[in-house]
Amino acid sequence: MPTLPTMRGHRLIRAALAGAGLVAGLLCCLPVTAGDLVRADVERRFPPPLHVGEKLRDLPAWPLTSELQPDAGPVGYAFESIDLAPIPGFEGTPINLLVAIDAGGKFMDVEVLRQHEPVFLGGLGPLPLQDFVRQYQGKSLKQDITVSSTYGNTRAEGGGNRVVLDGVAKATASVRIVNQSVLAASLAVARARLGFADPGSGAPAAVPKPQPFAAMDLAALIRRGYVQRLSLSNADVEKLFAGSEGAGSDAQALDKPDDLFVEVYVAYLNAPGIGRNLLGDAAWARFRSYLTDERPAFWIATRGRYALVDEAFVPGTPPPRLALLQNELPIELRDANRDYARLPAPGELTSALILTAPAHAGLDPGRPMEFRFSVSRARGMILPVVTQKQITLRYTPPAELFDYPPRPLPEWLQAWQGRLPDLLVIGAALLLLCAALLRPRWIALKPRRLFWFRSGFLAFTLAYIGWYAQGQLSIVQITGAVKSLAAGAGLKSFLYDPVSLLLIAFTLVSLAVWGRGTFCGWLCPFGALQEFVAQLAGALRLPQWHLPPRLARLLARGRYAILALLVGSAALAPAAAERMVEIEPFKTAITVGFQREWPFLLWAGGLLLAGAFVYKFFCRFVCPLGAALTLGGRLRRWNWLPRIEACGQPCQKCRNTCRYDAILPGGAIDYDECFECLDCVGIYHDIRRCGPQRLQAARGRPVEFRRRR
């Protein structure tokens, strides 16, 4: 029977401790602050084979890796729009959406987390908005995504790179805000992490440098590269249309091929050395006071026949003939002409505009970008055939105007950096555990001391390692590794979860030194939870059913069958394995803290209840991870738990004490079943509890036992 302290009132202490453990659990299960997701919430939305990594330190996003592509690094990112683009809705507070994009910039999912739009709260209800955001799935950030302005769900056609989402009747403005939030947040993540084509794009955005002002005219600005230009003759444009319906339809171009069609000038206006020179002091001052949110602004002027905007252009809107792209990502430009800019058109320039990009759009003003100008030609009077071509001006901002922050560390290293405090705390705990197992005498000698040490450590394992640091090792890590290896991929994805990796590494070493009991007896959060349930059951005097050891050993073989089934199906039928791993209640009880659907709660609760009557029921008879660790424990090199000749021959004291039936009738330890609770170690070192030693001492003989292995 158990050798926990027998002092009066101790049951009360145990009940208090177990209660404290359970209260800590309940506290961890309280709902998260609305609109502020934690990793577990995201994990619920992106189940295996996807794996949700730690939230990045320099970008509020969770990297998504895939068990099927472990070497690919993140296959996508999930993030809350409110963190990246808090654009106020009509009620004044930002709409919050959970957005996920894949590594190619495609939307994996968009979900409304929080919104206060009156039309969706009191009028239409939330469903139309949910339907609206569903349209993003499969669309790409590389596309020009806009919202239909038609009321009702009339489908508006896109064409080319343009995608038009169905709007929501009576809520067009609200869904436009949603679209802006989704795109701005996604572009920020895409700019920071996806880095299409441009190797430098993985670095943070360049920061404009304060510079002493030097007066320059347009010619000097062009010479310095502050203003960049592109010149096209009529002949150049004719060449653009060659072979298309538009070829030969511009009489003026054919008559005077060498005449200028257009010269386009582009400059990054926020830099004082450019903006103040182009606008003049007074307009520059007004411009600065207008542009308080540091939106990137561009001065774009033209000379020649071509006009940037036609007479139908509405001031304050995006100019339809112009698009801005960076790393192939389109970024909306909007006319920002106000009274500050009665724009001078120096020299022969015929028009000039100031255009701004949204502050949250993720444009890096210090890196190359493309301005695309559309030129169209129409052939025919009735139902004319319109042909459109694009002229591209590649604008490279002058490097001397910017500071370029260094590239961030690789993401896996950032994950490690971000978890450094947790790693240090858990590392210290592991060192303490090593000390206890290497020199167990002092801790194990006094039952009370051992009880408190063990209970304290298990409380740490449950609350800190399990619920807080999410370090519950699981059979999923084994089946995931099997799947990855079966697919011929490596195991790099483990790097993205440093806490688990630390525990895995420690457990592997401990298997060779002490056996499976180091993890199962000390480091498994669900095992710790069962321990507290057992303590509570003891305090409540619930009946304890002690299965006959032979029957227990027979039943224990069931977990190997479960393990074989899971590993086999992981290699042969991954989809089935994903369902079957739910036999482990770890996700329900530890990862998501009991916030799951009722069948999962029922299963986890049932196992804990069984553990209240049969000590460590799940560990001993069901757990496939325990079975795998038992097999791994065969690597153990030493029989480190001390035994003497009298153990089992005839003394059965330790055997009767061991609640895991891990001591054989002959006195030897069955390390496959041992959880390293150290109860028998305490008896071995305590002459008052070890019968043969006490007997020898009573006879006045020196206690000389031959230690056996």
Q: How far is the CB of 530 from ligand SF4 (least distance, A)?
A: 7
Q: How far is the CB of 510 from ligand SF4 (least distance, A)?
A: 12
171, 175, 176, 180: CA torsion to nearest 10: 160
Taking the least distance from each CB to ligand SF4, the nearer of 78 and 503 is: 503
- The DSSP bridge partners found for residue 352 are 301
Cβ neighbors of 509 (< 8 A, separation 6 or more) are none
Helix (H) / strand (E) containing 630: helix 624-632
Taking the least distance from each CB to ligand SF4, the nearer of 50 and 680 is: 680
Q: How far is the CB of 550 from ligand SF4 (least distance, A)?
A: 17
Taking the least distance from each CB to ligand SF4, the nearer of 136 and 684 is: 684
Taking the least distance from each CB to ligand SF4, the nearer of 376 and 656 is: 656
Q: How far is the CB of 518 from ligand SF4 (least distance, A)?
A: 10
Q: Can you read off the two tokens belonging to residue 40?
A: 């577990």
Taking the least distance from each CB to ligand SF4, the nearer of 498 and 626 is: 626
CB 514 within 8 A of CB 487: no
Q: How far is the CB of 24 from ligand SF4 (least distance, A)?
A: 18
Backbone conformation region of residue 649, classed left if phi is above 0, alpha if psi is from -120 to 50, else beta:
beta
Q: How far is the CB of 503 from ligand SF4 (least distance, A)?
A: 11
Cβ neighbors of 219 (< 8 A, separation 6 or more) are none
Q: Can you read off the two tokens belonging to residue 688?
A: 């008052």
Cis before residue 128, ω within 30 degrees of 0? no
- Helices 420-438, 498-513: inter-axial angle, 10-degree rounding: 10
Taking the least distance from each CB to ligand SF4, the nearer of 284 and 506 is: 506
Bridging pattern class, strands 162-165 and 144-147: parallel
Q: How far is the CB of 685 from ligand SF4 (least distance, A)?
A: 12
Q: How far is the CB of 475 from ligand SF4 (least distance, A)?
A: 8
Taking the least distance from each CB to ligand SF4, the nearer of 332 and 672 is: 672
Q: Can you read off the two tokens belonging to residue 188?
A: 């920020």
CB 602 within 8 A of CB 584: no
Q: How far is the CB of 520 from ligand SF4 (least distance, A)?
A: 3
Taking the least distance from each CB to ligand SF4, the nearer of 228 and 472 is: 472
Residues 179 and 361: their CA atoms lie apart, in Å, by 12
3-state secondary structure of 163: strand
Cis before residue 86, ω within 30 degrees of 0? no
Taking the least distance from each CB to ligand SF4, the nearer of 535 and 657 is: 657
Helix (H) / strand (E) containing 305: none
395, 398, 403, 406: CA torsion to nearest 10: 60
Residues 357 and 85: their CA atoms lie apart, in Å, by 13
Q: How far is the CB of 473 from ligand SF4 (least distance, A)?
A: 7
Residues 608 and 617: their CA atoms lie apart, in Å, by 8
Taking the least distance from each CB to ligand SF4, the nearer of 355 and 663 is: 663
Nearest by Cα to 231 from 391, 410, 370: 391
Interface with ligand SF4 by CB under 6 A: which residues? 520, 524, 526-527, 618-619, 623, 625-626, 641, 657-658, 660, 662-663, 669, 674-680
Residue 548's CB is within 10 A of a number of other CB atoms, namely: 9
Taking the least distance from each CB to ligand SF4, the nearer of 175 and 426 is: 426
- Cα–Cα distances (Å) from 644 to 85, 134, 241, 563, 657, in that order, read 69, 69, 96, 35, 16
Residue 545's CB is within 10 A of a number of other CB atoms, namely: 10
Q: How far is the CB of 524 from ligand SF4 (least distance, A)?
A: 3
